[in-house]
Amino acid sequence: MSCQGEMHEVIPWFMRGQPGQNYKTMVVAEIGNNHEGSLGNLIHMIERSALAGADAVKIQSHCPSLESTYGERWPKRFEYHPQDNARIEYWYRMSFSKYDLAEIQKTCNRIQIKLIVSCFSPFGVDKLLECCPNVWAIKIASGETDNRKLIEKIHSTGKRTILSTGMSETREVNTNVCLLLAEPAVEELYVLQCTTEYPTPVTQVGMNVVEIYSRNLLFKGGLSDHSGTIYPSIIAAYLGAQMVEVHVCFSKYQFGADITSSVTFEELEQLVKGVQWANVLRANPINKDLYKPEQDSMVYRQGKQR
What is d(CA 298, CA 57) in angstroms, rounded to the nearest whole number?
49
* pLDDT of residue 137 exceeding 50: yes
Helix H or strand E encompassing 221: strand 220-225
The model's pTM is 0.91
By the 8 A CB rule, do 223 and 211 touch?
Answer: no
* pLDDT of residue 271 exceeding 50: yes
DSSP assignment letter at 134: T
Mean pLDDT over 38-55 rounds to 98
Kindly write down the DSSP assignment for every residue of 281-295, as one continuous string: HHH----TTT----H
What is d(CA 91, CA 81) in angstroms, rounded to the nearest whole number?
12
pLDDT at residue 109 in the model: 97
Dihedral angle computed from the Cα positions of residues 51, 56, 57 and 58, in that order, rounded to the nearest 10 degrees: -170
Amino acid at 194: C
Distance of CA 222 to the CA centre of its chain: 8
Strands 243-249, 114-119: pairing kind: unpaired
> Out of 23-27, 55-59, 78-82, 204-208, which region has the weakest mean confidence (pLDDT)?
78-82
pLDDT at residue 18 in the model: 60
pLDDT at residue 289 in the model: 86
Contacts of 179 (CB under 8 A, 6+ apart): 151, 152, 155
Mean pLDDT over 63-73 rounds to 89
By the 8 A CB rule, do 159 and 185 touch?
Answer: no
The predicted-structure confidence for 139-191, as pLDDT tens digits, reads as follows 999 999 999 999 999 999 999 999 999 999 999 999 999 999 999 999 999 99
Domain 26-299 is in which class?
A: alpha beta
* pLDDT of residue 55 exceeding 70: yes
Helix H or strand E encompassing 124: helix 122-131
Mean pLDDT over 235-244 rounds to 96
